[in-house]
Every structure is written in C-alpha cells, then in structure tokens.
Structure 1
Amino acid sequence: MLTAVACLCSPPLSAQVSDGRSRHAAATSDPALVRTLPGFVSRYATVNGIRLHYVAGGTGPLLVLLPGWPETWWSYHRIMPQLAASHRVVAVDLRGMGGSAKPADGYDKKTMASDIAALVTQLGYREADVVGHDIGAMVAFSLAANHRELVRKLVMLDVAHPSDGYLKLPLLPAAGTFGDKLDEDHPYLWWFAFHQVRGLPEKLLEGRAGIEQEWFFHYMLKNERAIDAKDRAVYAAAYASRDAIRASNGWYQAFGQDIADDGTYAPLTIPVLGLGGPGFPRLKAALDVKAPGSVTHRIDGSGHFIAEEAPEVLLRHLRDFLDR
C-alpha cells in the first residue's frame, strides 16, 4: 500500500525543477518568440562556413537589423511589425549571438560584416538598408566601409565603430563619477576590460549571465521597465552557456583589430543617420569625421537601448530617413 501511495505523489523535486527549466527554455526559445510576431519566420543560413540565425518578415526593400550585447534579434521586436509594412525586415543574430554559430574566431567586425554581406547576397538582394545597435552598429559600419555596394543607407544607434580613442579609456573612474547609473559626461565602461580576460568570465557567469545583465540594464537604461521580465529572461538564456559567454567576449577581444581596421577606412559617402542616447556626443563626433554629411540626433529621455526605450521615436526617424 505504501508503494501505491508513493506512486500517486508529486514527482521528485529534482524532476519538478527540471520540468520548470524546460518550460522556461521553451518560453524563451526563438520559435516561441517568433510566434508572437505574426508574419515573421525564423530561418538559418550558412555563410562563410558558419550558420547564422535570422528572423524575417514583410515585403519591400531589404532592411537588416543588427543587435548588440547583451541582447539578440529580439531587441528589435517592438519595431519589426511596423517596419515590415514597407520593408523586408531581417533581424540577425550576429556571429556568436543567440541561435547563430559560436566559432573559435572571426569576431573582428570586418569578418562579422562579411557574414552579413554574404547573407544579403544569399537572400537574393543587391543592396540593403542597415540598422545597427551597440556591437551591431560596429558591424554595420564595417559592412558599409567594406561592402559599399551593398549598403544603401546606414543607421547607427548609440555606438560608433571602435577607434584609437578606445585605447585611452580610463582603467579607473574619475572621482565621484561612478555610481549605479551612467554618468553621461564620464562614462565608465569597465566591462570592455572585463571581457578582455580569456576564460574567467565563462567560469564566473556560466548559468548566471543574468546577474551581469541586470547590473548593465540598470546602469544603462533610463526607463528600466522598457526591458521587462520576459525580455530579460530571453537575454539571460541566450548568454547562459560557456560558449555563448566566450563568443560574446570575442567581440570585445577583437577591438584591437577593429581599431587597426578603422584606420584604413575611407570616409563613408552613403547617407548615414546617427541616433544617440547617452552615447550621442561620442557617436556624433565619430560620424562627423567618418561619415561627412551624416546627421546625428539625440533621443531625449532614452538610455542606451533606443529600440526598446523609444520605439515610436525610433520608428519616426527610420521612416523619415529610409523612405526619403
């Protein structure tokens, strides 16, 4: 009788935990996320010997969206349906990000840009408008610099391509400038150095990437509700594994090569729009030199994550710029 009663009890705690984790993983998976965006599909393409994941929808001229750290293609989900009314929207997980491959190397922005160039060509397009945020903005700029025939118009969100100015970033913050919120006049980008360390971040953050992300979102967001609990679960899951942490660190560890490449790029002559939150002064200064004739606007009230903090404002700028 005791055995019979035991069979009627709830599953062991370990099984319940495992089941809970499975349900959580399913809820943050790309198929589940794409189902919330009618008209969009999740796809893969093999380019430059690696597999890239992307989400596509809509019809019209090609518009490529490139995300940054610590996010994935999902960072654009609030504007993708509206953009799809007039464009073929393709939001890409960069090399090392989300559902894309995480090879041992190739994280310099020139190589990552060649991935996107190959994807555009494979999709059957001769040119694309390109929007990039954070690491994605660096890749977008490199794409325009190295594959000028493919980029019709370029939009940079809050971050410029790495330049030799990175070599002058302070190791320690100026007295009284570093708190739990970004001092826009004295940004302290300590994670640039932390992610240079090989092997250690993976050991510290495996399964706990959300801890670093929570700090970063608090530091860089002005409206912390703009990235909600679901969004944060998506990003924490995307960077939970050692491979994911190693690959994303690779974007930072390649800055030395990116800086060297930057010195070889001629100024861009295509239409370029910069949109900055806290990075506005640095983005404008860079684009004034690297893209003469570009226009850079400050997005008032937005922190670093413009596509999530100010989606309607971003949409107005994109429509005006891309459809002009």
Structure 2
Amino acid sequence: MSDTPSDAELARSLKGGFVSSHAEVNGVRLHYVAGGRGEPLILLPGWPQTWWEFHKIMPALAAGRRVIAVDLRGMGGSDKPADGYDKKTMAADILALTRHLGHDAVDIAGHDIGGMVAFAFAANHPASTRRIALLDIAHPDERFYNYSLLPVPGRQQVGGDIHAGPGRFLWWFAFNQVPDLPERLLVGRSRLLVDWMIDYLVEDPSAIGDRDRDIYAHAYSTVEAIRAGNAWYRAFGQDIADGKTYGPVRAPLLGLGGGEGGYQLLKALLPDKGTDVEVAAVVGSGHYIPEERPEAVVQHLTRFFA
C-alpha cells in the first residue's frame, strides 16, 4: 500500500473543484475535503472507512451545494488523540469546524459512526442544524446492550454460517472493546479486516473495489489508527448515557436503510428520535450505501436537503 494516493490527490481526482485541507478546531486537527458552491452540507463517514466513502456522491451533490466531507477525530488524516471519542465531543468538533469555515447552520449526513455523530450534533446544537440524514445507523441507546454475544440460529446464521444468516452478527462491537489486543493483531494486516467487513455487509462486493479497499486499509494500518477507531466503540457506554439526556431532535430527520433489513431496523429505531422523521429503504444495498447505490443516495439527499 506504499503507492496509496494521498488525500490531496484523491480530492483532485473528483469533479467539483474539491480540495483537501486541515483545520485546528476544538483542540484537534481535523482533515476535510470540500468542493462545490452553495449551502453547506457536511458528510461524516464511518468505520473502517474515511471521507473517501463519499467519493461517488460528492461530485453530484456539489453541483448545487458546498460539500464538506470530514475525517472524524481519530480517522484518516485527522488527529488521533488519547480521548474525546464520545459522540457528543466529536459533534463539538464538527460544530467548531463549521464555525471555522464561516457557517452558522448546516445540513449534515452521516454514515455508521458518522451518523451517530450527526445525531449528537443535532441533539446538542439545534440552532446550528438545518436537516440531518442518518445512513444505516441510529445513535447508541440501551438496545445496544441487548446485542447477542452468539449469533442467533435462523436470525443471524444458518447451519452455523453467519454469512448465510439473514441478519448481521455484530461481533466487532465486542472485539473493538478489548484494549490493546486489536492493535497488535491488525497492525500491518488491516486489509484483512477491511475485506471481511465489506464482503460481509455489502450486497455486491464488487461495488467497493481493490483501490478503495487499499485506501481504507492504509488509513487503518497503524497502531494509533486502529486504537482510535476502536475508541469510537469503547465510548458507546458514554454515548448511551448522553443519549438519555436528549429529547427528540426537532430538525427534520431522514433515515436511509440498506435494503429491507436496514429499513425495518431504522423504522423501529428512529420514530422516537425526532419530531419530523422519514425512513426510506435503499433497495439493492447493504450497509455501505453511498458506494453501493450512489445514484439512489444522491436522489434521496438532494430531495431531502432541498
């Protein structure tokens, strides 16, 4: 992965005049890629990816918006401090970045961990939130404590095979809680994890090719990067406690679920999270919606944020 392109090179490869930049905000140095003109739209990615997960949708969205894809605290080109990985603090990072960029209020869309941060942003900074979209995720709540340690036959596995199961067995939620061990196991081997996660959670593995997988593996190739990514999961207990203090968000909220399973999950989880909630299914997609069905995501986001 020594020939993995830099963030600056990747940004220049996208139509829309995208530029890779950094900003010192909230005590952390954040990397972001911005392009286009118009009202600001913040894009927040998830694990184990970077801002690059939005590369298929950024040019189309930038046709009428100022699109800003951010590497979260601990991700990619951003700093990887020892703490601050609860989603409330990470949302404060994004607020400080929006202020740094000269915006009073923004639309914000997040996938996976980024969706959790997007929700925390809306819950804690309502005056700065126009609309939010959550892609195949909801903010942590006490239901997270009910996830099974073992895959449930017929629901998460068939004949002992979790790949044959109709649901997702979230074993990495527990794996990422273990201190020190994941870093030692994965350093220099992150492509193994990236491949497994993608192949397990997509409808069509070819939707995310070798080049993209190399970019993600490179971003999680060091001890510091693996530790930081795990820290997002280790903060779930604090996130759940923080979530108990949040009322329903008042900003219009769109949930996009990957396929029927993701749609049904968000349909059950999101209605009590906001006062104006819409949930839609992205047909033919698994978890990595922006890369699997970019045209559908662009259509949904363009309509919703209009």
1:33 aligns with 2:10: yes
Candidates 269, 283, 287, aligned match of 2:250? 269
Per the TM alignment, residue 156 of structure 1 is displaced from its structure 2 partner at its CA by 0.4
Candidates 231, 238, 244, aligned match of 2:219? 238
Q: Secondary structure at the match of 2:49?
A: coil
1:272-309 CA-to-partner distances (Å, cap 9, x unmatched) read: 11100143222222210111330101111100011000
CA contact 1:182–1:220 (8 Å) conserved in 2:
no
Per the TM alignment, residue 174 of structure 1 is displaced from its structure 2 partner at its CA by 1.2
What TM-score does the superposition give when structure 2 sets the normalisation length?
0.95
1:137 aligns with 2:118: no
CA contact 1:182–1:188 (8 Å) conserved in 2:
no
Q: Secondary structure at the match of 1:131?
A: strand
Aligned counterparts of 1:46 and 1:183: Cα–Cα separation in 2: 44
Q: Secondary structure at the match of 1:167?
A: helix
Change (3 A) 1:183 1:262: farther
User: What residue number does 1:195 align with?
Assistant: 176
Q: Secondary structure at the match of 2:163?
A: coil
Per the TM alignment, residue 67 of structure 1 is displaced from its structure 2 partner at its CA by 0.2
Per the TM alignment, residue 182 of structure 1 is displaced from its structure 2 partner at its CA by 6.9
Candidates 166, 188, 191, aligned match of 1:207? 188
User: What residue number does 2:28 align with?
Assistant: 50
Matches within 5 A, 1:29-108: 29-38=6-15, 39-108=17-86
1:54-95 CA-to-partner distances (Å, cap 9, x unmatched) read: 000000000000000010000000010111111100000000
Alignment gaps of 5+ in structure 1: 1-20
1:143-186 CA-to-partner distances (Å, cap 9, x unmatched) read: 000001111000000000000000111111112532353744x4
Name the amino acid aligned to 2:118.
Answer: A
Candidates 294, 297, 305, aligned match of 1:314? 297
Residues matched between the structures, number: 299
Aligned counterparts of 2:214 and 2:194: Cα–Cα separation in 1: 10
Name the amino acid aligned to 1:33.
Answer: L
Aligned counterparts of 2:257 and 2:165: Cα–Cα separation in 1: 15
> What value does the CA root-mean-square deviation take over the aligned residues?
1.2
Aligned counterparts of 1:239 and 1:187: Cα–Cα separation in 2: 23
- Structure ID, larger Rg: 1
User: What residue number does 1:181 align with?
Assistant: 163
CA contact 1:160–1:282 (8 Å) conserved in 2:
no
Q: Secondary structure at the match of 1:140?
A: helix
Q: Secondary structure at the match of 1:266?
A: coil
Change (3 A) 1:108 1:89: same
1:93-115 CA-to-partner distances (Å, cap 9, x unmatched) read: 00000000000000000000000
1:203-233 CA-to-partner distances (Å, cap 9, x unmatched) read: 0000111111111111100011110111000
CA contact 1:181–1:220 (8 Å) conserved in 2:
no
Moved more, 207-216 or 243-252: 207-216
Change (3 A) 1:293 1:183: farther
1:19-48 CA-to-partner distances (Å, cap 9, x unmatched) read: xx54x13x2x21221121140000000111
CA contact 1:180–1:218 (8 Å) conserved in 2:
no
Aligned counterparts of 1:293 and 1:284: Cα–Cα separation in 2: 13
- Percent identity reads 54
